Amino acid sequence: MKSLVKAVIAASFILSSATAVYAESAPTTAAAGDAMSSGEVKKVDKSAGKMTIKHGPLQNLGMDGMTMVFRVKDPGMLEQVKVGDKIHFVAEEPNGQLTVTQLKKDN
Ligand SMILES: [Cu+2]
């Protein structure tokens, strides 16, 4: 009887740890496609088509938080924001040029 109890306890440990691993990995995979990073606009340079962003971690680029210059995919993005604005954005690196491809001003 004791060995049966041990077997049941062991089995439930295996099941619960397997469930925990699945629960941790699933949301990351699902959200990876359209996850936006947070940032603050530090400079807008319309003539160069660039903006400087103090950004949080950029998971898709494997980059930690820092302040840096980005190109923008659409020059109109530079009209939507001003220095000091808090934003959410997606940056990609299509031709070795870090480019903001999506931009949303925080409310
Ligand atoms: Cu950076």
Residue-wise pLDDT for 40-93, tens only, equals 999 999 999 999 999 999 999 999 999 999 999 999 999 999 999 999 999 999
- The residues whose Cβ lies within 5 A of ligand 1, an ion, are 63, 66, 68
Strands 66-72 and 50-55: antiparallel
pLDDT value of residue 26? 40
Q: How far is the CA of 15 from the centre of ligand 1 (A)?
A: 40
Which fold is adopted by the domain 36-105? OB fold (Dihydrolipoamide Acetyltransferase, E2P) (2.40.50)
Residue 35: pLDDT band (50, 70, 90) is confident
What pTM was estimated for this model as a whole? 0.68
Enter the DSSP assignment of 1: -
More confident residue, 10 or 14: 10
In contact, 106 and 85? CB cutoff 8 Å: yes
Q: What is the whole-number distance in angstroms between the Cα of residue 44 and the centre of ligand 1?
A: 16
Domain ranges of the chain: 2-33, 36-105
Ligand 1 center–CA 63 separation, angstroms: 6
Distance in Å, CA 66 to ligand 1 centroid: 5
